[in-house]
């Protein structure tokens, strides 16, 4: 079994840059059924048959919750916040509607809902306390954290790219930063080189005009 890729915070940011309330769906790839969450703290599972929800259970904290599957669709995670400001990151046993593991590392009360994402099947990332916090999916203890050299809001929003080598993070000044691991750095350098070559070719092919 090959080792998992390195977590992103080892590298610096490169540059700034059917419920009674609102529901958010999370479909399993390939889509066999849909989980939905709502502000009442309920999680429901649905099939594509208009027969109503098959499962109805409470989210941790019984308030706002977001659910995500791992890349291969084999594992289900959720991250949410209670009305009292307590945050919860958990993995679910979806067949039983029970919590398989609860991840630790949240220290402060939150005034809003924390955001999270998962890269491939290896790492979970959460924006909280002006930081990005990382967990390895099989370990409940926080792996590492980074403040991305400062400038993050209290609850930064974040999103991995498809292969998990880049992570976009919102900043307090309404911009964003990109965090990258070794593979992500190579990708960005290749893009920079192609952009430079295209710009140079444009200038070299342009006619030179002289005015007196």
Tens of pLDDT along 93-139? Answer: 877 778 999 999 988 888 788 899 999 888 999 999 999 999 999 99
pLDDT at residue 199, as a whole number? 45
Digit-coded pLDDT (tens) for 144-191: 999 999 999 999 999 999 888 889 999 999 999 989 888 888 878 877
Q: Is 158 helix (H, G, I), strand (E, B) or coil?
A: strand
What is d(CA 167, CA 181) in angstroms, rounded to the nearest whole number? 9
Digit-coded pLDDT (tens) for 52-106: 777 788 888 888 888 898 988 889 999 998 888 899 999 998 777 789 999 999 8
Widest pairwise Cα distance in the chain: 81
Are 92 and 100 spatial neighbours (Cβ–Cβ below 8 Å)?
Answer: yes
pLDDT at residue 90, as a whole number? 95
Query: How do the domains of the chain map onto residue ranges?
Result: 18-160
Q: Give 153: exposed, middle or buried? Use CB within 10 Å, 0-12, 13-18, 19+.
A: middle
What is d(CA 55, CA 43) in angstroms, rounded to the nearest whole number? 8
CATH 2.130.10.10 fits 18-160, yes or no: yes
Residue 9 backbone dihedrals phi, psi, to 5 degrees: -65, -5
pLDDT at residue 14, as a whole number? 39
């Amino acid at each position: 079994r090959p080792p998992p890729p390195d977590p992103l915070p080892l590298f610096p940011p490169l540059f700034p840059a059917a419920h009674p309330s609102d529901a958010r769906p999370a479909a399993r790839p390939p889509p066999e059924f849909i989980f939905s969450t709502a502000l009442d703290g309920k999680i429901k599972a649905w099939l594509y048959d208009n027969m109503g929800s098959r499962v109805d259970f409470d989210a941790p904290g019984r308030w706002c919750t977001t659910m995500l599957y791992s890349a291969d669709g084999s594992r289900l995670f959720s991250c949410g916040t209670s009305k009292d400001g307590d945050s919860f990151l958990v993995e679910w046993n979806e067949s039983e509607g029970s919590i398989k593991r609860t991840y630790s590392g949240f220290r402060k009360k939150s005034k809003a809902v924390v955001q999270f994402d998962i890269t491939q099947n290896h790492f979970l990332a959460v924006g909280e306390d002006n930081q990005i916090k990382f967990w390895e999916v099989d370990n409940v203890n926080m792996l590492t954290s980074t403040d991305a050299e400062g400038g993050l809001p209290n609850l930064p929003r974040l999103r991995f790219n498809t292969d998990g080598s880049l992570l976009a993070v919102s900043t307090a000044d309404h911009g964003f930063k990109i965090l990258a691991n070794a593979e992500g750095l190579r990708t960005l350098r290749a893009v920079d080189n192609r952009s430079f070559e295209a710009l140079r070719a444009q200038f070299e092919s342009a006619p030179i005009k002289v005015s007196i």
